[in-house]
Amino acid sequence: MGDRIAASEPVRHRLSVVLPAKNESATVAEVIGRLRDVLPAAEIVLVDDGSTDGTGEVAGKAGATVVRNLYSMGNGAAVKAGMRRAGGEIVVLMDADGQHDPRDIPRLLAEIEAGADMAVGARGADSQASIGRGIANAFYNALATYMTGRSVKDLTSGFRAVRAARFKEFLHLLPNGFSYPTTITMAFFRAGYAVRYVPIKAARRIGKSHINLLKDGARFLLIIFKIGTLYSPVKLFAPVVAVQALLGLGYYAYTFLTQGRLSLATIFLLTSAVTTFLIGLVSEQITQLVYRPTTRDN
């Protein structure tokens, strides 16, 4: 598949592009123009998340369908609004700040056409905004890989193509902030949907980033553990149980050999291990209910 989708290809007639944007008037017209060059008949939906610089007006003049949030609700909320408005069976999600190259979209779509439910643009080390953010993303990827049992190459990438029907099943789970990619990726793995990764090179964004590394980094980590409890609670609780049990048995061996007795600390640690294990089992059953197919109207 080349850089440009041919007019006769059916994917062109069922494709939408959703661009969440806040104060991106300097780049949005160029991004929309580049999208039109690659996908001339795709529906382009820009969600103006409470911009104060005329982003929505610029996007409208450039030919996009504009959805406006009355005030800034967050990147995830903008994505959800865009997904509700988009009419395509396949939706491409990308940033409006110029970081993502529309010429990479055909490679994402090729994975969807090959049977994937979601194709994610995976950034390499040379595409990270800073060394600190690169290290953080590598840690998140490793932790998510452990949680899901699948290779997660870029947990936080906002550049992806998805089957809209699959994505909309999880709208109620998605947070309103920047961590929606974390949630949707792990939810897809939990539901047994096919996720593929496509290497991309992200450019430097134009203008100031809306992400606070410390605050949003902690939020990303919290979301990983939150979705970990939804995805596989036993994997989350098992290390805790193991540590409690080993500490309890170790302390019992120490007190028995040195004092010939069973201490209250040993009883507490072993009891805590059993309790934590049972909580994990109950959480696992709740997980099955969360992912049971529903007729929820998104």
| pLDDT tens digits, 11-46 | 444 899 999 999 999 999 999 999 999 999 899 999
Strands 195-200 and 118-123: parallel
Give the mean model confidence (pLDDT) for residues 119-136: 72
CA 59/CA 24 separation, integer angstroms: 9
Q: How confident is the model at residue 292 (pLDDT cuts 50, 70, 90)?
A: low
pLDDT, greater one: 207 or 143: 143
CA 119/CA 185 separation, integer angstroms: 10
Give the mean model confidence (pLDDT) for residues 280-287: 80
pLDDT at 140: 80
CA 262/CA 257 separation, integer angstroms: 10
Its pTM stands at 0.77
Give the mean model confidence (pLDDT) for residues 209-237: 68
Angle (nearest 5°) at CA 18 between 109 and 38: 50
pLDDT at 222: 74
pLDDT at 139 over 70: yes
pLDDT at 209: 52
Strands 43-49 and 118-123: unpaired
pLDDT at 137 over 90: no
Give the mean model confidence (pLDDT) for residues 116-143: 77
pLDDT tens per residue, range 235-273: 888 889 999 999 999 999 999 888 888 889 999 999 999
